[in-house]
Structure 1
Amino acid sequence: MDRIDKLASQKAVVIFSKSTCCMCHAIKRLFYEQGVSPTIHELDEDSRSREMEWALMKLGCSPTVPAVFIGGKFVGSADTVMTFQLNGKLKKMLKDAGAIWL
């Protein structure tokens, strides 16, 4: 859990992902299209992926990826991020975290 917290706080937007996950791809693309350059941690390319997935599950992330952190705080997975995008809350969260300036 400490590793997740440390990695999640290193940049305004951090996404834990798997390179073969289509929802992960969609969420990454959403952030890129907003002008955000998130830090991406591909769990399927990490030797400690099982440990990290377990920590994400403890946070309530099911499925474990994509797991999105904004401003060091766990936001949720794809459905939560898409809900925030649709209701306009995502842009405010990104501004507050310093990920965008518009």
Structure 2
Amino acid sequence: MGGSPSCQIAAVDMKGPVAEKVNEKIKSNCVMIFSKTYCPYCKIAKKAFSDIGVPYEVYEIDKQPDGAAVQDVLDNMTGARTVPRVFVGGKCIGGGTETRQLYKEGKLADLVQQSCEKK
């Protein structure tokens, strides 16, 4: 039942410097989007926040040397490795599709207001 080493998943250090950086970015920004510059779903998520006039912080994974490690941490935290990973008030709301759906339903601005004014 061993399997080859190339099929084994490396453990993610959730107490290491990359995880600390990810957690700090999520904690210190009301809206935090982990994105890739070329990703159409990332553009959808950013546009939703722009359209309601809500500022957001973006970490462009594809422009950072630790991008793959950041994506590993996000996968461990949220159960998904895909981008965008969108956080509002410290909680992951999903990706571009979920963000756009909240926007279409008129719920995104309320979510930001409820999640971020408490801080």
Secondary structure, counterpart of 1:32 in structure 2: helix
Q: Quote the Cα distance in structure 1 between the aligned partners of 2:81 and 2:105.
A: 22
Q: Quote the Cα distance in structure 1 between the aligned partners of 2:50 and 2:104.
A: 16
Equivalent residue for 1:91? Answer: 109
Equivalent residue for 1:24? Answer: 42
- Unaligned segments of structure 2, at least 5 residues: 1-18
Distance apart, 1:50 and its partner CA: 0.8
Aligned counterpart for 1:3 among listed residues 11, 21, 28: 21
Cα shift readout 1:1-37 (whole Å, capped 9, x = no counterpart):
3321111111111100000111111211111111011
User: 1:29 is aligned with what amino acid?
Assistant: K
Q: Quote the Cα distance in structure 2 between the aligned partners of 1:80 and 1:28.
A: 12
User: 1:91 is aligned with what amino acid?
Assistant: A
Question: TM-score of the superposition, structure 2-length normalised?
Answer: 0.74
Percent identity over paired residues = 27
Aligned counterpart for 2:95 among listed residues 77, 81, 84: 77
Q: Quote the Cα distance in structure 2 between the aligned partners of 1:9 and 1:17.
A: 17
Larger relative CO (CA 8 A, sep 6+): 1 or 2?
Answer: 1
Equivalent residue for 2:80? Answer: 61
- Unaligned segments of structure 1, at least 5 residues: none
Aligned counterpart for 1:37 among listed residues 25, 38, 55: 55
Aligned pairs, how many?
Answer: 97
User: 2:68 is aligned with what amino acid?
Assistant: R
User: 1:3 is aligned with what amino acid?
Assistant: K
Output the aligned Cα RMSD: 1.4
